[in-house]
Amino acid sequence: SDDWYRRAELAMSKGDEELAKEALTRRKSYQENADSMLVNLEGQKAAVEKLIANTRFLETKMTEAKSKKDTLKARSISAKTNKQVQDLVSGVSTSSALSAFEKMEEKVMSMEAETDAIGMLNAGTNELEDKFKALEGGDIDDELAKMKAGMLGDGGKKGGALPAGRPVSDAIESELEALRKKADNM
């Protein structure tokens, strides 16, 4: 818009009032367009911030759900173990006590091995999830940096829509389905 103002001044200095008026009209049009784009930019920034906040909230809820699932799983294993011990103890006679203790020891060792295996699987899964979260977080930062660079490079004259992202509902449904399957297997 500053260019059009200088052109209007030049036209006035040359005595062409009609050309100066046209230059000022164009200047006003460009200024209004720039102001509109600024408003759109602020709206886009707010939408991005809200999306980031919602994503963090969802991640927190997913972490809480996973923690609750792990707690319930541990309680289930403990209850099964207690039931097995009670069943063994109630069926033990004094003559077969040694045999019963050997069976109990075998079952406890089997359950400990199962618990260790589950722990190793969960540790590998958590490490893998953390790596993917770090990569996904980097993608968002890269996209935001590209968006900023694009807006600064255009002098703020172009508004843009956010790129299509992964549907949040699909990710939630996928995680919930996985949790349901694990709960059914317990």
**Max CA separation in the chain (angstroms):** 123
Q: Record the tokens describing residue 149, joined without a space.
A: 């660079």
End-to-end CA distance of the chain: 68
pLDDT number for residue 42: 92
Cα dihedral value 49, 50, 55, 60, nearest 10: 100
Residue 84: the pLDDT is: 86
Q: What are the 10-residue block averages of pLDDT along the chain, 186 residues in total?
A: 87 90 91 91 92 93 92 90 81 61 83 77 64 64 76 57 57 75 74
pLDDT at 52: 93
Residue type, 131: K
pLDDT given for residue 87 in this prediction: 78
Q: What's the pLDDT at 93?
A: 57
pLDDT reported for residue 44: 92
| Contact of 162 with 47, CB cutoff 8 Å | yes
Would you state the pLDDT for residue 48? 93
Report whether 10 contacts 29 (CB < 8 A): no
Let me know if 41 is exposed, middle or buried by CB neighbors in 10 A (0-12, 13-18, 19+).
Answer: middle
Are the CB atoms for 100 and 91 separated by under 8 Å?
yes
Residue 177's pLDDT is: 79
Q: Shortest CA distance to 1 belongs to which of 181, 157, 176?
A: 157
Task: Return the HEC string of 54-111.
Answer: HHHHHHHHHHHHHHHHHHHHHHHHHHHHHHHHHHHHHCCCHHHHHHHHHHHHHHHHHH
What token pair was written down for 97?
A: 């006590």
pTM, 2 dp: 0.33
Which of 41, 56, 15 is closest to 154 using CA atoms? 41
In 91-167, alpha helices (H): 97-153
Cα 85 from Cα 81, distance rounded (Å): 6
Q: What is the pLDDT of residue 97?
A: 60
